[in-house]
Chains A and B, each alone.
Chain A
Amino acid sequence: MDRKRDRRKEHKTEGVGQISGFRIVVILLCACMAMAVAISLLYFRLQIRESTKLLAGDDGREYGAYYVLITDDRDTGFWQGVLKGAREEAEASNIYLEQIGERIDTDYDRVKKMEMAIYADVDGIILDAADNQVMNDLIDKATAAGIPVVTVRNDSQRSSRVSFVNISYANLSREYAKQIRRLVKDRQKKGETGKVKVCVLLDAVNTSGQNIVLTGIQDQLAAADLADQIEITTSQIRNSSVFSAEEEIRDLFLYAEDQIPGDIILCLNTTNTACVYQTVLDYNLAGQVDILGFYENDAIRNAIANDVIQATITVDTDQMGKYCVEALTEYRQSGYVSDYYAVDTSVLESKRGEAGNE
């Protein structure tokens, strides 16, 4: 009898053990389920928040003023450099700076961009100007609308622009003359006789300052008693329509005597430098034609490394951009500003050039 009872007891406790085990499993299962549900809901909510944020958009930083930079060849390294320097300076003064119309699908020229900036009531304009009446009128209109204009690189001298930021023409002339002198000497050392032909490629549109540079070079060469050994010619390169510079430079080579427009070709802008370099390579004239370039980019640096371009004058574009913003801000604050800002230049020479100097 007792044994029977014991067996029953055992059975009962076994049952209780099973029940509690089952309960624990069920509770664990429920907890896992609740956790999974909570996690998936949380994940989902995060995703919604993320997309809502995306939808609402980031309001971004708010600025106290709005300046624009207007230039035609905005994608070149030179102007990108200027833009970068200007932006850094503007940013520090809580000013937003952009190239106006850069996000508009239509590609406007400087004149239209200028008009747009005036109608958009910006706080300041940094303009790669041109010395013509249309530009002068637009600058005057902007000034009349209370928008100060600082010209950079190319000036509109007869307009009401508040300041002009550029490379020092005297420096530029000096540097170019120095490079020409070195190249002439090189040629003479090689035993070449006769006059060295220097072809200066002028911009047919942005003429401001070119003449000063050209005159400066001539003066410098004359002072060095090299005027009789050098023959300086000029060629107008029209950069008015797209890709026209490259066409004109090719034509220049094609129609020149021996397909060499000059022993030394001096370029006063980046596009011309790149085009001349490419043409020299194409016509296999490296070694016969020396190139003096303006400013630098990857291609130009490569060419200098390969001794195709002998030297290039680089500009401190950061400084240039910075001066532009400084000039505008100073004018807005005080109503007065220095009429001219000179930006530092430096020379980037090929190894041959460097060796020559030594």
Chain B
Amino acid sequence: MSKKRSKKIPFYRSLKSRLMLVLVSSVLLILVVNVLMFYNISRITRHLDEIYAGNQQLTELEEGLELLQESVNGYLNTKSTDTMQEYYICEQEYTKMVEGLTDKISDDPLLLMERNVKKLSESYLKIANLTIEAKRGRNVEKYRSYYEQSKVIYQYLTDAITSLNTLRFRSNTGSYEALSKSLVDLEQVSIFVFLMIAVFDVVLVIMVTGSITGPLLKLSEAANRVSEGDLENATTVPVSRMDEVGVVTVAFNQMVTSIPEYIKRLREGMEMERELKEKELLMEAHLKDARLKYLQAQINPHFLFNTLNAGAQLAMLERADRTYDYVQNVADFFRYNIRKDNDEVPLRDEIALVDTYIYILNVRFSGEIHFEKEIEEDELLRIMVPGMILQPIVENSVNYGIRDIERPGKICLQVAKVDDRVRISIKDNGKGMTPERIGEVLSGEMSEQEGSGNGIGLFNVMQRLHLYFDDQDSFEIISDGPDQGTEVAISVPVKRAMDEKG
């Protein structure tokens, strides 16, 4: 569908260029028609001028002839140099005028008459010249005879020119009428053409503005729908032309299709964040719960702390080194428990707490508990784990595993890398657990009843581990049955633990 549409979209042409095109073409059209009209008007006017040019020429010819005849008369009268000169000037001018006439024999009466005028003029010029020559030669008889002849030809010539002039005038009147009619027609044609062009321009402007505002209107309608939040029904706007509006429309269409997607992704992100937040809050609640339970179990840790420190200093003064160590360990144990930054601690610190705890217990129970540590790599001790997870497990092993057995109790702590996870295992050789009991512990059914020890149960540890690593497999209890000992193993992903630390 989109492919189809994109095929239909023409090449990009900006609004500016379209508007310019319309403007320029309409101006050009008007210009061309104007030029055409003016050209025609000037042509007609020129023709109108030409119409009577022939008459004017004949009138000039008649005038020239009259002057020539007068100059002949003048010379014959006075025989002066001036009149002689005048005669020659007139003769030259008249000859020039006569040369312009046709000498073709045509069945067109005007042309034939023109030819006769020319021939008569030539005869007249010849006789006039002979008259002048005879006068100069003082041949009185001859010049009189020639003069008479010239007068006769002059008369014929005048009549012929006048008649030709009249005839031409009559014929020209027809042309004049036709041209005048053309002029009137031109006026009407011009009005018609200009009206047509005006209508055409108006239609053009309506079309162009329509083609610009139409897509804009559609776009604004669609935008209104989107702004009202009707994203579901927001359909894409068809792109009819690739101009600025087209570009905006394409962008709008992309926006309309991508907005729901963004919203979906945003919603998912928010959901995830909310879950994370929830987890965090839950963990915090569990930690607080652990601390509260611990604090409830103590009278006043700060007081105890200070008391223990005072005891330690006293032991040092009395040089009772063992007492000093003992009191110091007890103090360290409690200090760790009331640390504020127990949310996340290195595994090393957790193991140190287990050491302190075992030391205290061994002082209490005269070294009954054999504690072993097997750490595969020191590097593994750097991983970050939630605080207060190992000591409760060890405490649990002591209280429910090895306390009431006859044989020497053993607790073994192992840290090893298995695949991409770190396995922390606390194994005792105590009473062991039945699978039912393991199930009860893992499901949390035991947690309420078993509030002994320092108060933090296995279920609490398990829950925190789950929340922290977002992993149900991070905690497991393994026992082969009664008197077979119990192993509590925590398995955390290395990458995750390192990342948290990092």
Chain A residues near B (Cβ < 8 Å)? 1, 4-5, 8, 12, 19, 23, 26, 29-30, 33, 36-37, 40-41, 43-45, 47-48, 50-52, 54-55, 57-66, 96, 98, 100, 103-106, 112, 115-116, 119-121
**Once the chains bind, are A40 and B163 in contact (CB under 8 Å)?**
no
Task: Mark B230-271 against chain A: 1 for CB-CB distance below 8 A, else 0.
Answer: 001101001000000000000000000000000000000000
Task: Mark B28-45 against chain A: 1 for CB-CB distance below 8 A, else 0.
Answer: 000001001000100110
- Minimum CB–CB distance from B286 to chain A (whole Å) comes to 46
Given the known interface contacts A47-B181, A62-B104, the answer about A1 and B166 at a Cβ–Cβ threshold of 8 Å is no
**Once the chains bind, are B162 and A105 in contact (CB under 8 Å)?**
yes
Q: Which 4 A-B pairs have the closest CB atoms?
A: A60-B108, A51-B178, A119-B123, A55-B175
18 example contacts (A-B, Cβ-Cβ < 8 A) are as follows A8-B233, A33-B199, A44-B40, A44-B185, A44-B189, A48-B182, A51-B178, A52-B47, A54-B178, A57-B110, A57-B111, A58-B108, A62-B104, A65-B105, A66-B105, A96-B106, A96-B107, A115-B156
**Once the chains bind, are B116 and A26 in contact (CB under 8 Å)?**
no
Select A59's contact among B106, B179, B207, B235, beta carbons within 8 Å: B106
- Minimum CB–CB distance from B120 to chain A (whole Å) comes to 5
Indicate whether B9 reaches chain A with its CB closer than 8 angstroms.
no
Residue of B nearest to A123 (CB): B105
**Once the chains bind, are B175 and A120 in contact (CB under 8 Å)?**
no
| B159 neighbours in A (Cβ, 8 Å) | 104-106
Given the known interface contacts A1-B232, A5-B235, A119-B156, the answer about A61 and B43 at a Cβ–Cβ threshold of 8 Å is no
**Once the chains bind, are B174 and A29 in contact (CB under 8 Å)?**
no
Indicate whether B119 reaches chain A with its CB closer than 8 angstroms.
yes
**Once the chains bind, are B50 and A55 in contact (CB under 8 Å)?**
yes
| A62 neighbours in B (Cβ, 8 Å) | 104-106
Indicate whether B171 reaches chain A with its CB closer than 8 angstroms.
yes
Indicate whether B467 reaches chain A with its CB closer than 8 angstroms.
no
Indicate whether B193 reaches chain A with its CB closer than 8 angstroms.
yes
**Once the chains bind, are B107 and A120 in contact (CB under 8 Å)?**
no
Task: Mark B162-182 against chain A: 1 for CB-CB distance below 8 A, else 0.
Answer: 110011000110110011011
- Minimum CB–CB distance from B208 to chain A (whole Å) comes to 11
- Bound together, the chains give a CA A59 to CA B105 distance in angstroms of 10
- Minimum CB–CB distance from A114 to chain B (whole Å) comes to 11
Residue of A nearest to B50 (CB): A55
- Bound together, the chains give a CA A43 to CA B190 distance in angstroms of 12
- Bound together, the chains give a CA A58 to CA B199 distance in angstroms of 42
- Minimum CB–CB distance from A186 to chain B (whole Å) comes to 50
- Bound together, the chains give a CA A306 to CA B200 distance in angstroms of 76
Residue of A nearest to B126 (CB): A119
| A61 neighbours in B (Cβ, 8 Å) | 106-107
Task: Mark B94-108 against chain A: 1 for CB-CB distance below 8 A, else 0.
Answer: 000000000011111
Given the known interface contacts A33-B199, A47-B185, A96-B105, the answer about A55 and B160 at a Cβ–Cβ threshold of 8 Å is no
| B51 neighbours in A (Cβ, 8 Å) | 55
**Once the chains bind, are B175 and A54 in contact (CB under 8 Å)?**
yes
**Once the chains bind, are B110 and A51 in contact (CB under 8 Å)?**
no
- Bound together, the chains give a CA A236 to CA B44 distance in angstroms of 62
**Number of CB contacts from chain A to chain B under 8 A:** 130
Q: What is the total number of residues of chain B having a CB less than 8 Å from a CB of chain A?
A: 58
Which of A55, A61, A96 neighbours the largest number of chain B CB atoms within 10 Å of its CB? A55
- Bound together, the chains give a CA A247 to CA B193 distance in angstroms of 69
**Once the chains bind, are A8 and B36 in contact (CB under 8 Å)?**
no
- Bound together, the chains give a CA A32 to CA B47 distance in angstroms of 32
**Once the chains bind, are A55 and B47 in contact (CB under 8 Å)?**
yes
**Once the chains bind, are A51 and B182 in contact (CB under 8 Å)?**
yes
Summarize B's interface: helix, strand, loop or mixed: helix
- Bound together, the chains give a CA A305 to CA B47 distance in angstroms of 57
Which residues B114-140 have CB closer than 8 A to chain A? 115-116, 119-120, 122-124
**Once the chains bind, are A103 and B113 in contact (CB under 8 Å)?**
yes
**Once the chains bind, are B163 and A104 in contact (CB under 8 Å)?**
yes
Indicate whether B446 reaches chain A with its CB closer than 8 angstroms.
no
- Minimum CB–CB distance from A119 to chain B (whole Å) comes to 4
- Bound together, the chains give a CA A5 to CA B163 distance in angstroms of 92
- Bound together, the chains give a CA A8 to CA B230 distance in angstroms of 14
| B40 neighbours in A (Cβ, 8 Å) | 44-45, 48
Given the known interface contacts A30-B200, A120-B116, the answer about A41 and B36 at a Cβ–Cβ threshold of 8 Å is yes
- Bound together, the chains give a CA A30 to CA B163 distance in angstroms of 55
**Once the chains bind, are A4 and B233 in contact (CB under 8 Å)?**
yes
- Bound together, the chains give a CA A59 to CA B104 distance in angstroms of 10
| A98 neighbours in B (Cβ, 8 Å) | 112
Which of B44, B109, B171, B189 neighbours the largest number of chain A CB atoms within 10 Å of its CB? B189
| A5 neighbours in B (Cβ, 8 Å) | 233, 235
**Once the chains bind, are A54 and B112 in contact (CB under 8 Å)?**
no
**Once the chains bind, are B111 and A59 in contact (CB under 8 Å)?**
yes
**Once the chains bind, are A116 and B120 in contact (CB under 8 Å)?**
yes
Given the known interface contacts A5-B233, A120-B119, the answer about A30 and B181 at a Cβ–Cβ threshold of 8 Å is no
Which of A62, A103, A105 neighbours the largest number of chain B CB atoms within 10 Å of its CB? A103
- Minimum CB–CB distance from A324 to chain B (whole Å) comes to 18
Indicate whether B418 reaches chain A with its CB closer than 8 angstroms.
no
Query: A29-B203, A51-B47, A96-B106 are known contacts; what are 19 more A-B pairs with Cβ within 8 Å?
Result: A37-B33, A41-B36, A41-B193, A48-B40, A48-B47, A50-B178, A52-B47, A55-B172, A55-B175, A60-B107, A61-B107, A65-B105, A66-B105, A96-B112, A104-B160, A105-B163, A105-B166, A112-B156, A119-B124
- Bound together, the chains give a CA A36 to CA B106 distance in angstroms of 42
- Minimum CB–CB distance from A106 to chain B (whole Å) comes to 5
| A65 neighbours in B (Cβ, 8 Å) | 105
- Minimum CB–CB distance from B158 to chain A (whole Å) comes to 9
| A47 neighbours in B (Cβ, 8 Å) | 178, 181-182, 185
Indicate whether B186 reaches chain A with its CB closer than 8 angstroms.
yes
| B197 neighbours in A (Cβ, 8 Å) | 37
Indicate whether B212 reaches chain A with its CB closer than 8 angstroms.
no
Given the known interface contacts A44-B40, A57-B110, A63-B105, the answer about A121 and B182 at a Cβ–Cβ threshold of 8 Å is no
Residue of A nearest to B180 (CB): A51
- Bound together, the chains give a CA A349 to CA B186 distance in angstroms of 64
Given the known interface contacts A41-B193, A115-B156, the answer about A64 and B105 at a Cβ–Cβ threshold of 8 Å is yes
- Minimum CB–CB distance from B465 to chain A (whole Å) comes to 48
| B167 neighbours in A (Cβ, 8 Å) | 103
- Bound together, the chains give a CA A116 to CA B120 distance in angstroms of 8
- Minimum CB–CB distance from A210 to chain B (whole Å) comes to 31
